[in-house]
């Protein structure tokens, strides 16, 4: 039995940084990872996918150069082997950086293998038994494959496997019209593939308000992506040229199928029962406001706790745990204002409540919208798709939420994120003097147009 001050299972965007903080405090830590350091973000999520998005945008800009007076002769050719290699380089640089960082830490023991609980303070890995008074779970999540007719008879792709493609699909069918699926849909359309999106629900990006969802669909359709919403009876069959995807109202001849219908936590093979750790019906580990599980001395961070599904929320889980356990603070998950982005082009930046949620809350609310076509920077760049939207509380004057679907929306939203976290009222923001010409300069104007609903 090997003893440590702490054991961290999973090397995503929370556990490794918490482990490093504990080592700085003079503790001994075992960091156990079954595959690659860095978790989903580094290896199969943000870093490789956003690198691919950048390549796809470069192709799109080159293809539309004549609009800006830049004429390129011949067809724009995409070398998918180079595209893939570039994404792989970004991943490997980040992963190797982590390996080097941990190798230089006295007190850190990195173990590659599959960890399982043998008791509330004991873990087995590679035939060895480890024990610690504190155990942190940062095991992440993986794509979920729905039980659709014929799905097990075809060679489908997931968000993890598609990033390794080094050939261009003739026709990519994307099953699922949410964030991951939409990013890959636009990306591969810009690479030159025919793309169809098949969504069971009535709208794309169903978490968003209908006007945002409709605008997202308009952006994708404008680039030639075929969208099928309200699709039922989805079934797959092998065909002579690839895969036939059939729904109640459409039949698609695809060469490749991407299943992007959600993710599930990697908690089903950790031996949680042996430790007495409780999960919900979806497999997410139940935690309190400090990220502690029902078992004393065990915490769950990141995607596996169901309290956030993003790299930044996972990292914030680390910040909360470190502040409470190492710095004597009292941070709470419930204090977090959720913000995220959809990385289609133009991107969607989101924070706080949607209009639907704000209306359902019973508050007296105010709403303002402004099309990107009225933003000088957007016109100068020739990218006027989308709009801005903000929701505020009419009585407290606090901003409740915002959505910016448009050029640099994923960056512009941070002005509102910061204001909400600081508790700044919207009239105070109206007196800021933003830089011209920027997209952010329209925030005071947007706030000035707030009207009761």
Q: Which residue ranges are tagged as binding site for NAD(+)?
A: 176-183, 199, 262
Only one residue has tokens 């960890």, namely: 115
Nearest to 410 by CA among 344, 349, 346, 338: 349
Only one residue has tokens 């989903």, namely: 40
Only one residue has tokens 């290699």, namely: 85
391 burial class (0-12, 13-18, 19+ CB within 10 angstroms)?
buried
| HEC-encoded secondary structure of 313-357 | HHHHHHHHHHHHHHCCCCCCHHHCCCEEEECCCCCEEEEECCHHH
Report, in angstroms and rounded to the nearest whole number, the Rg of the chain calculated over CA atoms. 24
Burial 23-53 (b: 16+ CB within 10 A, else e): beeebbbbbbbbebbbbbbbbbbbbbbebbb
Q: Which residues are known binding-site members?
A: 50, 176-183, 199, 262, 303
Q: Which residues are known binding-site members for FAD?
A: 50, 303
Q: Per this entry, what is the length of the chain?
A: 453
Neighbouring-strand partners of residue 272: none
Neighbouring-strand partners of residue 254: 243
Question: Residue 17: CB partners within 8 Å, gap ≥ 6?
Answer: 315, 318, 322
Q: Are 315 and 12 in contact (CB under 8 A)?
A: no
Q: Are 32 and 10 in contact (CB under 8 A)?
A: yes
Burial 422-444 (b: 16+ CB within 10 A, else e): eebebeebeeeeeeeeebbbbbb
248 burial class (0-12, 13-18, 19+ CB within 10 angstroms)?
exposed
Annotate 254-314 with DSSP letters as a single string. Answer: ESEEEE-S-EEES-TTS-HHHHT--B-TTSPBP--TTSB-SSTTEEE-GGGGTS--SHHHH
Cis preceding-peptide flag for 270 (omega within 30 of 0): no
436 classed as catalytic: yes
Task: Tell me the catalytic residues.
Answer: 436
């Amino acid at each position: 039995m090997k003893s440590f001050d702490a054991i961290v299972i999973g090397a995503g965007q929370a556990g490794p940084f918490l482990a490093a903080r504990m080592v700085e405090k003079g503790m001994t830590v075992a960091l156990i990872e079954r595959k690659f350091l860095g978790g989903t973000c580094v290896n199969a999520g943000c870093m490789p996918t956003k690198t691919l998005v950048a390549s796809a945008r470069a192709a799109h800009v080159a293809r539309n150069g004549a609009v800006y007076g830049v004429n390129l002769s011949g067809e724009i050719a995409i070398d998918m082997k180079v595209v893939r290699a570039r994404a792989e380089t970004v991943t490997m640089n980040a992963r190797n950086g982590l390996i080097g960082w941990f190798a230089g830490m006295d007190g850190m023991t990195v173990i590659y293998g599959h960890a399982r609980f043998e008791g509330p303070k004991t873990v087995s890995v590679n035939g060895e038994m480890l024990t610690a008074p504190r155990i942190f779970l940062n095991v992440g999540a993986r794509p979920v494959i729905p039980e659709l007719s014929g799905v097990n008879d075809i060679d489908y792709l997931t968000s993890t496997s598609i990033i390794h493609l080094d050939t261009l699909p003739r026709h990519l069918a994307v099953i699922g019209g949410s964030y991951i699926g939409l990013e890959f849909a636009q990306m591969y359309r810009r690479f030159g593939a025919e793309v169809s999106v098949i969504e069971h629900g009535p709208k794309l990006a169903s978490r968003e308000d209908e006007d945002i969802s409709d605008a997202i669909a308009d952006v994708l359709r404008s680039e030639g992506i075929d969208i099928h919403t309200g699709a039922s009876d989805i079934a797959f069959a092998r065909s002579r040229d690839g895969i036939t995807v059939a729904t109640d109202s459409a039949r698609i001849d695809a060469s490749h199928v991407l299943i992007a219908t959600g993710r599930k936590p990697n908690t089903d093979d950790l031996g949680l029962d042996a430790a007495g750790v409780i999960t919900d019906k979806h497999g997410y580990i139940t935690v309190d406001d400090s990220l502690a599980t029902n078992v004393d001395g065990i915490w769950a961070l990141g995607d596996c706790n169901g309290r956030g599904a993003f790299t930044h929320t996972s990292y914030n889980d680390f910040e909360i745990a470190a502040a409470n356990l190492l710095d004597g603070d009292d941070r709470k998950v419930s204090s977090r204002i959720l913000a995220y982005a959809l990385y289609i082009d133009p991107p969607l930046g989101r924070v706080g409540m949607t209009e639907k949620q704000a209306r359902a809350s019973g508050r007296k609310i105010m709403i303002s919208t402004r099309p990107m076509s009225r933003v000088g920077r957007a016109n100068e760049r020739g990218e006027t798709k989308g709009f801005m939207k903000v929701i505020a509380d009419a009585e407290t004057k606090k901003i409740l939420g915002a959505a910016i679907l448009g050029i640099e929306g994923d960056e512009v939203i941070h002005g509102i994120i910061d204001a909400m976290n600081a508790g700044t009222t919207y009239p105070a923001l109206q007196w800021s003097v933003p830089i011209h010409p920027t997209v952010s300069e329209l925030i005071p104007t947007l706030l000035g147009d707030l009207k009761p609903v």
